[in-house]
Amino acid sequence: MSTQNTRVWFITGSSTGFGRILAEQLLERGEIVVATARKPEQLEDLATTYPDRVLAIRLDVTKPSEVREAVNLAIAQFGKIDVLVNNAGYGTMGAIEEVTDTEVRQQYETNVFGALDVIRAVLPQMRQQHSGHILNLSSVGGVVSFAGAGVYCSTKFALEGISEALAKEVAPLGIKVTLVEPGAFRTDFNGRSLVATENMIADYDEVIGSFREWVQDVDGKQPGDPLKAVQAMIQVVESESPPLRLPLGADSVSAIETKLESVKADVDAGREIAISTAYEGVIVGEIGG
């Protein structure tokens, strides 16, 4: 089929949550979707309903060979990728001391290295066509870190840093980058996609206990509507000047605003000490300038 006037979306983690709802919304709008998941059989209904506009591919983002193969299959089928949505990911719950080496590494393999591999696999084709948009699913936890979710938040902080630099690198090439920063949305994140460490330490119960209870209690009652979230993502892609950051949910906006005020207060409080650390007579310019 001709894809000249139809966008091709490549979505990781398409079987559930934001990825699944986004794929459904795009297909209803007439877009083309490369839907990837570790269990592609969960996408068979979409492929059956839209046989000409869905390519369902097995993809475990922690396996670089599968990443390259999935991207190559998508380009071979449709000739291009217009929008990449890095949605695959999960959360690990536990205090920093509690989370094991294996749990930390697995968290980074999916949330950071997996996303990075997909970005680097898609970029050559986007550079060639001098267009494209990359949506990286971060979190309010990519701006604000929470006790009991420090390792998870650190992966989203990493994705924020990668995306901020990437946006500056690829803007002259016609490629756009947006970080999506959801708060609490009614997906399965607090259920299937949230893993508690097996190495719990009693001394942290008082600090982490209330967070664990909140995670359980709010599951299924989150204020955010995932359908409205994916509609906002589509709107950003359709925007002439999309933002680098897209907080979603009043809780995300509030938490980020509070964090920014806190950072500003710390900078102001230490300003004199900070600027006194230069060599005498040196004129300090902006980093990277």
Banded pLDDT at 260 (limits 50, 70, 90): very high
Distance, in Å, from the CA atom of 112 to the CA atom of 152, rounded to the nearest integer, reads 10
Say which DSSP state 245 is in: E
Distance, in Å, from the CA atom of 13 to the CA atom of 273, rounded to the nearest integer, reads 46
List the catalytic residues.
138, 152, 156
- Strand locations in 80-160, DSSP E? 83-86, 91-93, 132-137
Q: Are 192 and 16 contacting, i.e. CB atoms less than 8 angstroms apart?
A: yes
- Span 138-162, pLDDT tens digits: 999 999 999 999 999 999 999 999 9
- Span 201-225, pLDDT tens digits: 999 988 888 777 767 767 767 778 9
- Span 6-56, pLDDT tens digits: 999 999 999 989 999 999 999 999 999 999 999 989 999 999 999 999 999
pLDDT of residue 161: 98
pLDDT of residue 2: 53
Q: Are 12 and 35 contacting, i.e. CB atoms less than 8 angstroms apart?
A: no
Calculate the average pLDDT of the chain. 92
In order of their start, the domains of the chain are 8-249 (3.40.50.720)
